[in-house]
Amino acid sequence: MNPSKYDVIIVGAGVAGPAMAYALSSSSNLRKAIPESSQRKKPLQILLVDSKLRKPERIVGELLQPGGVLALRRLGLERALDNIDAVRAKGYCVMRPKVPSSLGKSQNEGTFEKGSSGTQFEQVHIPYPDGNEGRSFHHGEFVSSLRACAASAPGVTLLEASV
């Protein structure tokens, strides 16, 4: 490897590293927004380095909030959510204890379930505003998909190595 052949070296290929490499590449929607007269004549040569490029296998779920989905879309990386069994999240559902009123009726309205202690709980749905959606997925699948997107961008080289 000749380090002088790279314009940018990014250490770490978790979530931020591949997103940065892609953002700096000529494939990024951000780069496409720069007037042609201000763009480099030659695409950047970008080296993305990580000590372990195998898919992370630890059991970790992830919820990407709507702002994260929007950021991927703006970069042109929304396809990183494809084929990883990402589930659309339209908001939250939380459980709160049922509050009895002085009239013997519940002050809460909704669907109730009994917890292990016998307490009744109400489902409270909190939708994301403006119909936005997040995504829930396995972290390792997402990281692997981001790396593949970055590696497919012109000028990006992915390297497994210790720094």
Which pLDDT tens digit goes with each residue over 124-144?
999 999 989 999 999 999 999
Q: Is the pLDDT of residue 22 over 80?
A: yes
Is residue 16 predicted with pLDDT exceeding 90?
A: yes
8 has pLDDT over 80: yes
Angle between helix 66-75 and 16-24 (nearest 10): 30
Taking only the tens place, the pLDDT of each residue in 109-126 is 555 556 566 678 888 999
For residue 123, what is the enclosing H or E element? Answer: strand 120-127
Categorize the per-residue pLDDT at 107 as very low, low, confident or very high, splitting at 50, 70 and 90: low
Beta bridge partners of 10: 48
- Asked if residue 44 lies in contact with residue 8, where contact means CB atoms within 8 angstroms, the answer is yes
Name beta bridge partners: 125.
93
Q: Could you tell me the pLDDT band of residue 147, with boundaries at 50, 70 and 90?
A: very high
